[in-house]
A and B are shown apart, each in its own frame.
Chain A
């Protein structure tokens, strides 16, 4: 054992390294989130958190579950491919899911960055139809958003100059928004609608 005769100081130093490494492992265990590296160099649980964001648009399938009469009417007209919420706005907000028990990492983060207050519970029309009556869109604002004539719009798209077209009358005086085509349009209106009567 003469090799190790005067090597005590080296062993003490090596012991320090081992101790530091163990401390590093312990700290790392608590600092690195559990799901980090599950799929790659990121926190796998992040995808679940992003997917938990509450949806606001219910989707036209949800609307059509109750409003099948409107869906039928719409499917026959030129607005067949316009989804309900394109005009009526978002009709859906889920109740926020109950928060999961925070793990150590999240509690650590909460010490530094105070967590945002939870969203107020909202229950809109698509979740409970009786809770909220959606506001009926104002056709004089809604229709011109898409149908105001502009040289920049595709040539085949129905466009009108609103002031000339209706003399300030709301669009739904003549047009049904769910099926805007007019079976017997007044000749005067049709003539002033470039590309409108297709």
Chain B
């Protein structure tokens, strides 16, 4: 076979493109889920939470979370009257440990909370989980690219690629990650990625008896979250860290950290 220079110049790039296609392998089987059509987050309606722990148990069941580790947990805050009414100075409010609220979370709130007998002050429950930040500190520190923000806004861990160095566990300002005791890799809330990609809601939302948790998709114009955001002022945790958190809290108390 005789090839002149012109044919060679055409054949070489064509061969390169063909080889690239071979390397890429077969495309994934078509599913009706398009990642770029979604931008997931979750709304937590504090006044609706009764601290029953259904979400914590459901998450453990759904995602095989080991005992003593939590992808979601519930905290109970108690801000006492005296501390609210008698701050002596700005330091009492800002730094004195007496002014800090009492926070409990026995076993992550999995089996509920002890009955509160002290009726003074203000009580409320704060369910916590991964904030699925749009600018997440945890994905930025991963040295190997094992954790990432998926194109639909969910922060995920590639457990086959993770080394278990736990940099991300330190980097998360919300304490939402842990190293799995058996797999020895980072583990965290996946926002029930296996469910939301199939049109189901998350396990915690499914199990919540009062609707205190609501999965939302900001790219879906029909999602009720848009109406909710117009009529309520929601907050995120640690806004000063500019993480772009997508875990929105309705009626969040200022003492929550």
Chain A residues in the interface with B (C-beta under 8 A): 29, 33-34, 36, 39-43, 45-57, 59-60, 79, 81-83, 85-87, 89-90, 106, 109, 145-146, 148-154, 157
Complex CA gap A79/B112 in Å reads 20
Chain B residues in the interface with A (C-beta under 8 A): 23-25, 28, 35, 47-54, 58, 61-63, 76, 78, 112-113, 115-119, 123-125, 145-151, 156, 158, 160-161, 190, 192-195, 197-198, 200-201, 203, 206-211
**Chain B's interface: helix, strand, loop or mixed, by majority?**
loop
Instruction: Assess whether B193 is in contact with A50, with CB atoms less than 8 Å apart.
Output: yes
Complex CA gap A52/B33 in Å reads 13
Known pairs A151-B123, A154-B48; A34 contacts B206 (CB<8 A): no
User: How many residue pairs between the two chains, A and B, have CB atoms under 8 Å in the bound complex?
Assistant: 136
Smallest CB–CB gap between A125 and chain B, Å?
A: 14
Complex CA gap A83/B209 in Å reads 7
Instruction: Assess whether B145 is in contact with A145, with CB atoms less than 8 Å apart.
Output: no
Instruction: Assess whether B51 is in contact with A153, with CB atoms less than 8 Å apart.
Output: yes
Contacts A/B (CB < 8 Å), 16 sampled = A29-B23, A34-B23, A34-B25, A39-B148, A39-B150, A40-B148, A41-B148, A47-B35, A51-B194, A55-B195, A57-B195, A85-B207, A151-B118, A151-B123, A152-B123, A153-B51
Instruction: Assess whether B158 is in contact with A46, with CB atoms less than 8 Å apart.
Output: yes
Smallest CB–CB gap between A72 and chain B, Å?
A: 19
Smallest CB–CB gap between B141 and chain A, Å?
A: 12
From B52, B146, B148, A145 is in contact (CB under 8 Å) with B52
Smallest CB–CB gap between B54 and chain A, Å?
A: 6
Known pairs A83-B206, A86-B209, A145-B52; A154 contacts B47 (CB<8 A): yes
Smallest CB–CB gap between B101 and chain A, Å?
A: 12
Known pairs A36-B145, A46-B158, A50-B193; A57 contacts B118 (CB<8 A): no
Instruction: Assess whether A55 is in contact with B200, with CB atoms less than 8 Å apart.
Output: yes
Instruction: Assess whether A49 is in contact with B160, with CB atoms less than 8 Å apart.
Output: yes
From B48, B116, B145, B156, A41 is in contact (CB under 8 Å) with B145
Smallest CB–CB gap between B114 and chain A, Å?
A: 8
Complex CA gap A125/B131 in Å reads 33
Residues from chain A with Cβ under 8 Å of B190 in the complex = 50, 53
Most chain A CB neighbours (cut-off 10 Å) among B51, B63, B118: B51
Known pairs A42-B161, A46-B156, A50-B193; A81 contacts B210 (CB<8 A): yes
Instruction: Assess whether A46 is in contact with B161, with CB atoms less than 8 Å apart.
Output: yes
Instruction: Assess whether B200 is in contact with A150, with CB atoms less than 8 Å apart.
Output: no
Smallest CB–CB gap between A159 and chain B, Å?
A: 9
Instruction: Assess whether B113 is in contact with A152, with CB atoms less than 8 Å apart.
Output: yes
Residues from chain B with Cβ under 8 Å of A79 in the complex = 209
Known pairs A34-B23, A55-B198, A145-B112; A153 contacts B206 (CB<8 A): no
Residues from chain A with Cβ under 8 Å of B49 in the complex = 154
Residues from chain A with Cβ under 8 Å of B78 in the complex = 152
Instruction: Assess whether B118 is in contact with A55, with CB atoms less than 8 Å apart.
Output: no
From A42, A53, A109, A150, B148 is in contact (CB under 8 Å) with A42
